Structure formats: C-alpha cells, structure tokens
Amino acid sequence: MIELDGITKSYTIGESQVRALDGVNLMIEEGEFMAIMGASGSGKSTLMHILGLLDLPDSGSYRLMGKQIAKLNDDELATLRNNVTGFVFQQFHLLGRMSALDNVMLPGLYSDRQRDFCADALARLKTVGLAHRADQRPSQMSGGEQQRVAIARALICDPMLIFADEPTGNLDTKNSYEIMRILTELHRQGKTVVMVTHEHDIAAYADRVITMQDGKIIEDRRNGGEAERPERDSTMMQVEHQPLFNPSRMLGFVAQAFRSITANKIRTLLSVLGILVGVASVIAMMALGAGAGTSMEESLKSLGSNLLSVRGGSAKVRGAARGTGSFTRFTRQDVQAIAELSPLVSRASGYVNGSVQMVYLNKNWSSSVEGVGFDYGTMRAAMPSFGRWFTREEIRSRRKVAIIGTTIVSELFGDEYPVGKTIKINRINFRVIGVLPHKGFGGHRDRDDVVYIPVTTAMHRVLGRDYLNSIYVEVSSAENIEPAKGAIDALVRKRHRIRAGDEDSFYIRDMSEFKEMLSSTTQTMSTFLGSIAAISLVVGGIGIMNIMLVSVTERTREIGLRKAIGARKSDIMVQFLIESVGLTLSGGLIGIVVGIGVSVMLSTFAGWAVKTSIFSVVLASGFSVLIGLFFGLWPAKKAAGLKPVEALRYE
C-alpha cells in the first residue's frame, strides 16, 4: 500500500543543514498496525508528515496505492488528504471557536462526496464515546476528550489510512489507554494505522514496530503473526475534479466566514468603519448632488422659457465684457425693433440694473434695482404675488412706482403690508405697487433681494444712463431659438452699423448656455465630492486588507489544519475572500442605511434638497463587494499559499 524508497529530507537552520530523513526505505501493507519509535529528533514526525501528505520529501520516491505522490498536483494531494488519509496530532489541533460536532464535521466541508456529514459526525463521536458532548467547545474538554474528538475528525471521511503522531504524548495513562483502545478497534475494522510513540507499552499494541535513529530506520520488528488481509479496491484514489462553485460548499464557506467575522465583534466593527463611512458619504453625496441638480432645474424653469438675452460687450470672456472691446449701447428703439421680429420673437423687454440705497421710515437697506419693461414680468415668471404689475403708461412716462422682493419687504416693512406705502430709492420717493413672488436663492445670490421699477425711470431718474444693459427676448418656440438669434444678430448689426470684419461688440446668449454652465458646475461639484468619497472607500479597503492580513497571521495554524484535512488552495482562498467581502458588504449595507439617514436629516433639519436614488444604493453595494474582493485578494492568496506542516508548526 505504501512504498518508500530512498526518502530524504533536510532542514536548513541558519548555516547548517539537518538531515531529518536520510534514505528511508519502508513498505507498509494494507491493514497493518505499525508503531514508529525512536529518540527525540530522530525524524519520526518528519516521516509521518511525508507519509500523511502534509509535506513533500527532498528526494526519493513515495508510492501510495501505486501512485507516485511527486506527480500529483496540489488539488490532488488535498483530495487524498481529505478522504484517503486521516491525521491525528499530538496537539489535537481542534478549532476553538467551534463545537466538537462542528470540528468533527469540518473535513466534510472540503469533501467532494455528498453525504449527511452531521449524522456521520455524531456517529463518529459515539464511536469515541463523546456523543453527549457534541455541543461543547474544545476548551470545555479534557485533553483525552479533545484527542478523541480529533480522532473522530480524522475518521469522518472514512480514510483507509490513519496517521497518529504521538497521539498520547500529551495525555495521562488512563486517557492513553482509551486512545489506544480506539486505535486498536479501528485496526480491527481493517484500517491501516501508523502511529508514533516513544513508550514501549503503547508500541506494544501494534503488530509491527520500527525504530528510527538519525533519520534512518535501524530496526523493523513484528509482534506475533501477521494476518492476511483481503486486497481492497482503490476507488478512493480516483481524484474527481469538482467545480469551484458548488452551492452547498459555498454555503458552508459562508457559514464559516460568518462565524469568524462574528467571533471578534469589536474588531469587525472597527475594521468596517472605514467602508461604512465611505459608503455613507457616497450615498449622502450622490443624494445631495441629485437634489442640487433638481432644484437647479426648477429654478431654471422659473427663469422663463425660450429666453434669449442680448448684451453689449464681447462674449469671449465668459460673462464679462473685455475692457478693450467696443460695447454696443442698446436703446429702447432696439427693443421695439426686436419685438417686431415676428413670428420668431413673441416679446422683448429692456433691462438695466444697478445698486441703490432704500429707506422706509427709519429703516435702511441697500439692494439692487432692476429697471424692466412691460413684458418682463410674464417673460421671467415675476408677476407680483401681491399688488399689481406696471402699466404701459407708467413705463412710458417714467413713473416712480416699485415692485419689491420679499427680502426687502421683511427688511423694511417687517409685518406691515407694503403695497401703497412710499419708500425712498436713492432719495427719490417711490410708491410700492406690488410684491414679487418668492424665488429663493440662485447660486449664492438672494433672488428676493431686488426691487423692480420701470426701465425708463431706472435709466433716467435713478441710475442716470441712456442705454440698456441688456434686452431680454422671448422666442415664440424652442425650434425658433437659432433662427431668432440669427435675425436679432443681423438686426443689431444693421441698426448699429457693425461691419462684418469688426470685433463683436455684443452677444446673444440663450438659457441653454446658462444651463450648461450650471450643470457643469454641479458636475464639478459632484466629481469633487465623489472623489472624496472614493478616497475614503480606498482607505477603508486598506483597513480591511490590514485586518485580513492580521487574521491570516493569527489563524496560520487554523489554515494549516484546514489544509491538513483536505482543503485546497482555492478553498482557503475562497473562504478568506468571502470573509473580506462579508466585512466590506456588511460595512456597505450599514453605510447605505447611515447615508440615507444623513440625507434625510440634511433635508429635514438643514432644508437641503436631497434625492436618494436606487442607483447610488446599487453602486455602493457593488463597490463594497469589489473593494472586499480587491483588498482581500492578497491576504487570501497569502493564506492559500501556506504549507500545511509549516502552518501547523506556527506559534
């Protein structure tokens, strides 16, 4: 069954080489019960590890049931460890976080066979006389009981070979005899048992005893007659390749991950905090961005539709005219001429503005004045909510009448009803005839802190200039905007005798440009906010990676054990990835709740416009999964790459 030929294994300690095994030749027949004896350091454990597939020899050949072990790959070795060999360690190596039953069932997680491992595990616990302690944790058990649980675990996948490295080394005599009774019984049932011990009365249970010294077998002795045993078929050697995504196995991994995540709650909470904050800020910022976008759109609507503005100066410098350029001075005759461009233009209004000082009784207020034409109110959705709009006659004959915004109402009048009262604008008496509808803030400007007066009055009586700042034009329909621009351009050029080669001294702007400007501002803002959120997600991810690396180091022995009972590289990898994704995803989900909470609070208490979208929730959850995968990959790889013996020996 087992053929070893010229096996050597050396370890390098510092400068020197230790030959732990020095040309070991050994044949073990099926059904044998063999004990390995020898002084400490003679190479017994090294030999056992090689026999149990936990380590590979430096040279020599190892044939297990006819197969060359050296030719097998990692996954095939894992499968053999899982269901052909069972290893019992001197230090038991039970996982402290699990019950005895779960410990016994653990190899089932890595098995390709579909069985009810739970029932089997109970049966195995019964075999070792511990069925009544199935729910207890290793820490609640004596050493002898722990070793019996470990034996039950070695038996769960029905291995043909049992390897036990000083199974009684840490036990008292009574428990040692109990363990030996179990091993003898297994041997009687037909298992091949190989055991290391340095006690002669323990070795006496075996039918064959070999003795080692300095990495060599120096004695091979049989106790009594050897019974012939029937040859068993070796179907167990068939290595099946299971797909990685086996649902029930995945479920098992998720349960394991859940267990280890919840094992250390404070640490888990602290490590997901970064992700939590990151995701919460992504959600809140996207809600704010979307809310700002919507409220801007609404305020754009209140600016009026199909609106053009015609201004003097050059448009090349955004918003402001360049100092050197010439400057077309528009007159009310220009407004008249543009308004008559039917059917492209439906209405037009002149516009001037400036700043003024306003006084009512003993109250003072500086504000901006806007001189507007008759059609301005309807064009810009500014018809008074109290009182009335100007009449054509008032505008024509430069009357001193004013319509004031709500900010001015509260600053000058408080609770008093303003319509019909007289105020002073730049020391000239004006009669208030109406109150403008509330418009709120536009950007950083209070759009209610404004007073409207007739454009003629503004030009000639208040601001003292004989030209308009701009002309607002309402185009008859959205399709006519471009033709109207062309017609107005031609008209202005003709009226002001601007020749083709001249530098532009006026420009026409439509609201779409304004909209673009606004949306590019919002875009810049959301990109900025988004990158802050992304940075915090990355920082959170690094935190997760850190915690996963700590976890891998901390659980090196657990990983070694899992590999020893048949976990493949991919199994370990997947388990750690599920853990890191579990961490980031739970952080992400809490973060989503917190983010939505913050947005709701911002809108109720600070009055900000917010709009949470399903998209941001999906995006945030997707991102937290990706971050878990990305930052969990390295620790998971590190864990999967550990060698079973080295990991088990890790202190």
User: Which of ligand ADP, Mg ion, none does 42 bind, CB closer than 5 to 8 A by kind?
Assistant: ligand ADP
What is the Cα–Cα distance from 279 to 284, expressed in whole angstroms? 9
User: Which of ligand ADP, Mg ion, none does 139 bind, CB closer than 5 to 8 A by kind?
Assistant: none
What is the Cα–Cα distance from 165 to 412, expressed in whole angstroms? 95
Cβ contact 55:9 at 8 Å: yes
Task: Provide CB contacts within 8 A for 583, sequence distance 6+.
Answer: 261, 268, 271, 272, 275, 544, 547, 548, 628
CA distances from 201 to 38, 144, 177, 198, 222 (A): 14, 18, 10, 9, 15
Asked if 46 interacts with Mg ion (CB under 5 A), we say no
Residue among 415 and 651 whose Cβ is closer to ligand ADP:
651
SS3 label, residue 556: helix
Q: Other CB atoms closer than 10 Å to residue 444's CB: what's the count?
A: 5
Question: Binding to ligand ADP (CB under 6 A): which residues in 44-83?
Answer: 44-46
What is the Cα–Cα distance from 22 to 422, expressed in whole angstroms? 114
User: Which of ligand ADP, Mg ion, none does 38 bind, CB closer than 5 to 8 A by kind?
Assistant: ligand ADP
Select from 353, 413, 368, 356 the least CA-distant residue to 386.
413
Number of residues that bind Mg ion (CB under 5 A): 1
What is the Cα–Cα distance from 368 to 364, expressed in whole angstroms? 13
Asked if 45 interacts with Mg ion (CB under 5 A), we say yes
- Taking the complex as a whole, how short is the minimal distance between the CB of residue 210 and ligand ADP, in angstroms? 12
Q: How many CA atoms lie less than 13 Å away from 498 in the CB half-sphere?
A: 19
- The secondary element (H helix, E strand) that includes residue 619 is helix 614-640
Q: Find the part of the chain contacting ligand ADP (CB under 6 A) among 35-43, 299-307, 309-317, 318-326.
A: 35-43
User: Which of ligand ADP, Mg ion, none does 274 bind, CB closer than 5 to 8 A by kind?
Assistant: none
Q: Other CB atoms closer than 10 Å to residue 3's CB: what's the count?
A: 15
User: Which of ligand ADP, Mg ion, none does 11 bind, CB closer than 5 to 8 A by kind?
Assistant: ligand ADP
Residue among 45 and 211 whose Cβ is closer to Mg ion:
45
- Taking the complex as a whole, how short is the minimal distance between the CB of residue 40 and Mg ion, in angstroms? 7
- Taking the complex as a whole, how short is the minimal distance between the CB of residue 38 and ligand ADP, in angstroms? 6
Asked if 41 interacts with ligand ADP (CB under 6 A), we say yes
Binding mask 200-239 for ligand ADP (x = CB under 6 A): ----------------------------------------
- Taking the complex as a whole, how short is the minimal distance between the CB of residue 53 and ligand ADP, in angstroms? 16
Number of residues that bind ligand ADP (CB under 6 A): 12
Residue among 125 and 648 whose Cβ is closer to Mg ion:
648
User: Which of Mg ion, ligand ADP, none does 203 bind, CB closer than 5 to 8 A by kind?
Assistant: none
- Taking the complex as a whole, how short is the minimal distance between the CB of residue 139 and ligand ADP, in angstroms? 27
Residue 22, token pair as written in the block = 């020095």
Task: Provide CB contacts within 8 A for 607, sequence distance 6+.
Answer: none
Residue among 39 and 381 whose Cβ is closer to ligand ADP:
39
Residue among 43 and 138 whose Cβ is closer to Mg ion:
43
Asked if 40 interacts with ligand ADP (CB under 6 A), we say yes
Task: Provide CB contacts within 8 A for 394, sequence distance 6+.
Answer: 401, 454
Residue 589, token pair as written in the block = 């989900």
Question: Binding to Mg ion (CB under 5 A): which residues in 15-44?
Answer: none
In the list 17, 18, 301, 357, the residue contacting ligand ADP (rule: CB under 6 A) is 18
Select from 598, 224, 311, 304 the least CA-distant residue to 478.
304
End-to-end CA distance of the chain: 34
**Contact positions vs Mg ion (CB under 5 A):** 45
**Contact positions vs ligand ADP (CB under 6 A):** 11, 13, 18, 20, 38, 40-46
